[in-house]
Amino acid sequence: GVMPEASKTDVVIVGAGPAGLMLATWLAHTGIHARLLDKRQTKIFTGQADGLQCRTQEIFESFGFADRVAKEAYKMEEFSMWNPSPSGVLRRDERFPDTPVGISRFHESVLHQGRIERFFLDNIGKYAEMTGAGVSVERGVLPLSIEIDEETAEDPDAYPVTMVLRHLTEEEATPEQSKSGSGVEDGLFRSNLAPDDTADLVRRTSGKEGREEVVRAKYVVGCDGAHSWVRSQLGFRLEGEPTDYIWGVLDIVPITNFPDIRNRCSVHSEASGSLMVIPRENSLVRLYVQLNEVQPDAETGRADRTSITPEKILKAAQKTLAPYTLEYKHCHWWTAYQIGQRVGTQFSKLERVFLAGDAVHTHSPKAGQGMNVSMQDSYNLGWKIAHCVQKKAPRSILKTYQSERRRIAQDLIAFDHKFSRLFSGRPAKDAADEAGVDLKEFKRVFLQGAMFASGLSVDYGRSMLVFKEGSAKEQGDGTDVVGNVKVVASKQELAKNCPVGMRFPTFQVLNQSGGRPWQFQQWLKSDGRYRVVLFAGNVKDTIQQKRVRTWCEEAEKEGSWLKRHTPKDKAINSIIEILTIHSSARKETELLDDFPALLHPLRENDMGWDYEKVFVDDVSYHHGDGRAYEGYGVDKARGCVVAVRPDGYTGFIGELEDVDGLDSYFAACLLDV
């Protein structure tokens, strides 16, 4: 038949899993027009990934739904290691905190992927309405082809990507669910539905079933999972190997005399394999169980998963846990898989079509990283695409997606490789037993890995968005070039504990006007704005007061780092928000007298001063002393200036006088208006 005329949209996201939903969330918060397509008819209701790391929860908070996780998730406090004693009897070797102490306000929590998708969908709905973004989630839609017009790829006004989409009929869009004979459905077990998911079961017809459609987009992002269609259309590959380890996963309400069933545990038996215990919400426990009896085919390297049943997984778990007993009456979900450890060679084509999440990296789930790293990929990408669509930023910032995220994926695979080997191996009998796993090494790798697994050790390299020391072409005058951008190195020593390239840390500060304590991070919302954190120092000192006033005057000059990027008809804080933390005694300081108006600007529509911009490092009435300057490693008298990216990563640090540095930082990240 004749194709209908192409419609246009800014962004098409293929795949509404965690990575696609995170991307759509950014676009809803920043007001971009996007279509989120999934070939499946419904979201996931249960099963699959369940671990939420610290950084992921910080990101959820920045979008406004970390509270829902706090209410529903199980918080894992303790990790226990169970190992064979010298005589081969299973015993508890050690216990320690599951999350390294002091790294974040959030700790590792577990909740199944279906609930997390629910929170995303609700948040997208709310913000798309507020910002007028027009982000639609469309199910039962399968892309048939994708083409990029290379000629217009660099034209910011063009829609160079053309896709043909097919709206599936109900039968086509409903995946095969029931695993043979087990009686428990995989992924869509409907009696386990949360009440607020039931609306999703009512089939909404689009009226387009069975039809094809052509859509033209500025950007397309493939978040379509491990077997990514987008990736194969681009001709990109994943590099790496399948491993020989076959694992079974059981989500059950256990009946057991094993004492640590409400802890996260690693269990290495002497000769009957290993398992991991993940305590969960609603009395559930997830067991990751090594299945030694199912071996990959010698020729293909693939295992036959169809022979695996929940009963077989239970039997293997019982052997590992002996002499403790384990039974269940309720199985919520189960699956089995063979681990492949692979990373994509390319994360984008022409910075017009991107890949994120499992589409560019696959690995074992036991470190709880799949969903987290996938969401963090698209968290890195979403605001960059939004800025380019809005023509706030040059398209060259899109190159930093691959340079920042590919290294994370490689680190992830390296970590997973080490961790899986140590986890799946048989414990060594003694120091001479080289084929066995040294359990002390397992502990060491686990503890090192905990920091990596939290997501907080991410340290993005030098780029046009990260002004730090690093290898790039020196120009002789101390500055150098990344792409066409002049990079002025940050003065890291001014904020010792805010490494440039890492997420800006958080400490308690008080609102200057009302005295209310806040974690400063709560003000770093994911709304697409850059932030300049002005550590104003001791503003009651005359010389320091002068420095702060001069800094504000510079910012207010025509053509300044602030004015150049802010449209005249928009609020002064609309592109770059200035937040102040000072260190004078709160009770001796007055907002209106001691701080220039720029730091607490008038709100739009004559709504009075903005009282939520100036904070102080001082003792609170009820919640102690945040000691923020000490925490950030900033001098209490002189302060400093820190630029923070829209995703919360530190981009630049300078003195109050380093206006040129700030100027070149924003000249790199943002276009002039």
CA distances 439 to 93, 135, 416, 422, 443, Å, are: 10, 49, 17, 8, 6
What residue ranges in 234-325 does DSSP mark as E strands? 238-256, 264-268, 274-279, 285-290
User: Which tokens sit at 436?
Assistant: 């066995």
User: Which tokens sit at 658?
Assistant: 């380093």
User: Which tokens sit at 133?
Assistant: 């973004």
Residue 201 phi/psi, 5-degree rounding, is -80, -20
Helix, strand, or coil (residue 136): strand
95 is catalytic: no
Comparing C-alpha atoms, which of 298, 245, 239 is closest to residue 422? 245
- Cis-peptide, bond into residue 323, ω within 30° of zero: yes
Marked catalytic residue, from 18, 279, 310, 365: 365
Marked catalytic residue, from 10, 38, 40, 50: 50
User: Which tokens sit at 78?
Assistant: 């303790």
Residue 317 or 669: the one with the smaller Cβ distance to ligand FAD is: 317
CA distances 300 to 2, 109, 244, 304, Å, are: 44, 37, 11, 10
**Least distance between ligand FAD and beta carbon 272 (Å):** 22
Question: What is the chain's alpha carbon radius of gyration, rounded to the nearest angstrom?
Answer: 26
User: Which tokens sit at 228?
Assistant: 């990514």
Residue 289 or 439: the one with the smaller Cβ distance to ligand FAD is: 289
CA 613/CA 336 separation, integer angstroms? 51
Instruction: Please report, as ranges, the residues that interact with ligand FAD according to CB under 6 A.
Output: 14-20, 37-40, 48-49, 51, 113, 142-143, 223-225, 229, 249, 335, 357-358, 365, 368, 370-371, 374
Residue 227 or 557: the one with the smaller Cβ distance to ligand FAD is: 227
CA 595/CA 511 separation, integer angstroms? 14
**Least distance between ligand FAD and beta carbon 189 (Å):** 13
CA dihedral of residues 316, 321, 326, 331 (deg, nearest 10): -50
CA 449/CA 559 separation, integer angstroms? 46
CA 53/CA 456 separation, integer angstroms? 9
Residue 288 or 504: the one with the smaller Cβ distance to ligand FAD is: 288
Q: Residue 519 — left, alpha, or beta (φ > 0 → left; ψ -120 to 50 → alpha)?
A: beta
Contact 355, 343 (CB under 8 A): no
DSSP 8-state class, residue 204: P
Helix, strand, or coil (residue 469): coil
Contact 474, 462 (CB under 8 A): no
Residue 224 or 480: the one with the smaller Cβ distance to ligand FAD is: 224
User: Which tokens sit at 54?
Assistant: 């610290």
CA distances 512 to 544, 610, 637, Å, are: 18, 12, 17
Residue 172 or 554: the one with the smaller Cβ distance to ligand FAD is: 172
411 is catalytic: no
**Least distance between ligand FAD and beta carbon 231 (Å):** 10
CA 25/CA 126 separation, integer angstroms? 10
Residue 282 or 497: the one with the smaller Cβ distance to ligand FAD is: 282
Residue 353 or 552: the one with the smaller Cβ distance to ligand FAD is: 353
CA 338/CA 291 separation, integer angstroms? 10
401 is catalytic: no
Q: Which is it for the CA torsion 610, 615, 616, 618, positive or negative?
A: positive
Tokens 């101390």, located at residue: 478
**Least distance between ligand FAD and beta carbon 311 (Å):** 19
Contact 130, 120 (CB under 8 A): no
Residue 142 or 669: the one with the smaller Cβ distance to ligand FAD is: 142
91 is catalytic: no
Marked catalytic residue, from 280, 286, 342, 547: 280
Question: What DSSP string describes 277-337?
Answer: EEE-STT-EEEEEE-TTS---TTT----GGG--HHHHHHHHHHHHTTS-EEEEEEEEEEEE
Q: Residue 312 — left, alpha, or beta (φ > 0 → left; ψ -120 to 50 → alpha)?
A: alpha
Helix, strand, or coil (residue 82): strand
Contact 263, 97 (CB under 8 A): no
Residue 251 or 577: the one with the smaller Cβ distance to ligand FAD is: 251
Residue 143 or 661: the one with the smaller Cβ distance to ligand FAD is: 143
**Least distance between ligand FAD and beta carbon 373 (Å):** 8
Catalytic residues: 50, 280, 288, 365
